[in-house]
Structure 1
Amino acid sequence: MYKRVRRRKVAEINVVPYIDVMLVLLIIFMVTAPLITQGVKVNLPKADAEALDKESKPPLVASVDADGNYYLAVGTSKNEPMSAEQVATLVAAHLKVEPDTPVVVNGDGAVSYDAVIQLMVLLQQKAGVPSVGLMTDPGAK
């Protein structure tokens, strides 16, 4: 006679369909993520900024005027217009001598946002400034 062989039941979950769904969702999120991160026009809130301590060193003020000219001032001194490379070189030299000096950017209200950002990138990448502050008008509300 024949012996009957009993098979054991296997308790496994087939995960292949779940992997397919996960890959489809991954592709959908990869396609839609750049669309979500696009800029949106908003009205920014107005707030009072804290002033630098009076006991701290006078800051290096890198400025951009409405014509796109660059200036560099220490404290209240004023300089002539200079190139972006000259600003970076002077800031880097000053920070080698006095590394704790704060650096702030003063952008004219009529200058483009791009010009202010380019000055900040220049100060961080070429001059090695660890953090750049933005100047505001204390009377503006």
Structure 2
Amino acid sequence: MPGVSSRGRGRRTINEINMVPFIDVMLVLLIIFMVTAPLITPSLIDLPTVGRGNKPPDRKLEVVVGKDEKLVLKSGDDSRNLSLAELAASVVAAQAGQPPNSVAVVISADRSVKYETVVMVMDTLQKAGVQRVGLSVQVVR
């Protein structure tokens, strides 16, 4: 029942929120969280480490994605313009006869190229079964 205040002639109700039940609920929740927090074990995430690879690749193929999203496959002194469909076959042919994981493919892209294009190149190489694919980055100092 709301509190009643008698002031002067009439009786007036006091419109205030009763804070006691609210405080009781908050204290109970606080105690529950304090008790259960130590019982929750955080999950461990296995993050990759930064460092040098075990063995550098014997050969390196470089796929360059230009500003106009044209692909160039560089192998040593040889460079060829390719379409996305021809890229996988050319990389697999260049890796043929080599020991597994001895030929690495490095993707270099211009800064203005859409990220989607680089992902499409990586996806194409992955579907073709290429094992070692890396991204070339420029270190800003």
Identify the TM-score tier after normalising by the shorter chain.
0.5 to 0.7
Aligned residues: 90
User: CA–CA distance in 2 between the matches of 1:108 and 1:122?
Assistant: 19
TM (normalized to structure 2)? 0.55
Cα-to-partner distance string for 1:86-130 (whole Å, 9 max, x where unaligned): 2111101122222321111111111000000000000110x2112
Deviation, structure 1 residue 53: 8.4
* One of 85, 93, 102 as aligned partner of 2:104: 102
Which protein shows a greater Rg?
A: 2
Runs (5+) with no aligned partner, structure 2: 1-49
What letter is aligned with 2:135? L
Post-superposition offset of 1:83: 0.8
Alignment partner, residue 115 of structure 1: 117
Runs of 4+ in 1 over 4 A off after TM superposition: 49-55
1:39-98 deviations in Å (ceiling 9; x for gaps): xxxxxxxxxx767789631311111111010111113x2524211122111101122222
Does the Cα contact within 8 Å between 2:103 and 2:132 map onto a contact in 1? no
TM-score by length of 1: 0.55
Q: Secondary structure at the match of 2:62?
A: strand
List runs of 5+ in structure 1 lacking aligned partners.
1-48
CA RMSD of aligned residues (A): 2.4
| Higher RCO (CA 8 Å, separation ≥ 6 residues) | 1
Does residue 67 in structure 1 map to residue 68 in structure 2? yes
